[in-house]
């Protein structure tokens, strides 16, 4: 399992409901959450190893929103966090 994090422009619960209909139907996504109160409106997606950041970005774009992968430092990338 891998964890991917994204900065987004998803700011309200009705927006979260909109992306839910997309993310909930992706077989490679195990679970996801979004903190709409955080400065970067952080989306955290846990999925199977073959789930790529570009896949999540495409899904979020399809729902009408913006997502940009959060780059971790070298240690977090090595640990897979």
Number of folded domains in the chain? 1
CA-based angle 70:60:64, to the nearest 5?
Answer: 130
Q: Residue 78's pLDDT is what? A: 54
User: pLDDT below 70 — which residues of the chain?
Assistant: 72-81
What CATH number should be reported for the domain holding residue 46? 3.30.70.100
Q: Residue 71's pLDDT is what? A: 79
Q: Residue 81's pLDDT is what? A: 46
What tokens appear for 24 in the block?
């909930």
Range of the structural domain that residue 25 is part of: 2-79
Residues 16 and 71: their CA atoms lie apart, in Å, by 23
What tokens appear for 44 in the block?
């955290």
Half-sphere exposure at residue 65, Cβ-oriented, CA atoms within 13 angstroms? 26
Q: Residue 79's pLDDT is what? A: 52
């Amino acid at each position: 399992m891998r964890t991917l994090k994204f900065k987004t422009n998803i700011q309200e619960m009705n927006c979260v409901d909109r992306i839910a209909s997309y993310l909930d139907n992706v077989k490679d996504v195990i679970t996801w959450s979004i903190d709409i109160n955080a400065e970067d409106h952080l989306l955290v997606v846990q999925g199977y190893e073959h789930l790529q950041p570009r896949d999540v970005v495409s899904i979020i774009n399809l729902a009408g929103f913006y997502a940009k992968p959060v780059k971790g430092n070298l240690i977090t990338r090595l640990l897979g966090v």
